[in-house]
């Protein structure tokens, strides 16, 4: 009986490809972005205001250490967001600062 359950779950699984800092990474559908970033070999998700490396800590969206830029939107909590096909994920503080500066300039 366990064989039929196993085969049915494997036949329904699918994968998606996301791009982490320009590198394509294929993951199972439903994988959270934080896991895809780790699968890409990235350990530094962002930098603190003191320029110290940060990465996921709690895995449930409370600590805010897993933030990255997804499809141009900064400060996304990657441990809560499932991967979607062709998602563009950027780690690092510089991309978030560029967005904030661009937004500030458009309001002036």
pLDDT in tens, 61-81: 999 999 999 999 999 999 999
**Per-residue pLDDT at 7:** 39
Q: What is the pLDDT of residue 83?
A: 98
The per-residue pLDDT for 39 is: 96
Inter-CA distances, 72 with 6, 43, 87, 89, Å: 38, 20, 10, 8
Q: What is the pTM of this model?
A: 0.74
Polymer length of the chain: 108
State the pLDDT at residue 6. 42
Domain boundaries, the chain: 14-107
Closest CA to 55 of 68, 41, 69, 45: 45
Q: Is the pLDDT of residue 22 over 70?
A: yes
At the second CATH level, the architecture of 14-107 is Roll (3.10)
Hey, CA dihedral for 61, 66, 67, 68, is it positive or negative?
A: negative
Q: What is the dihedral of CA 22, 35, 31, 46, to 10 degrees?
A: -60
């Amino acid at each position: 009986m366990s064989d039929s359950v196993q085969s049915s779950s494997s036949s329904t699984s699918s994968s998606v490809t996301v791009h982490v800092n320009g590198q394509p990474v294929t993951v199972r559908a439903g994988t959270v972005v934080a896991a895809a970033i780790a699968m890409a070999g990235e350990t530094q998700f962002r930098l603190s205001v003191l320029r110290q490396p940060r990465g996921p800590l709690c895995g449930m969206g409370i600590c805010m250490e897993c933030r990255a830029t997804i499809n141009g939107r900064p400060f996304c909590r990657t441990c809560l967001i499932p991967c979607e096909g062709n998602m563009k994920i950027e780690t690092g503080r510089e991309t978030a600062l560029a967005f904030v500066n661009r937004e500030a300039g458009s309001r002036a």
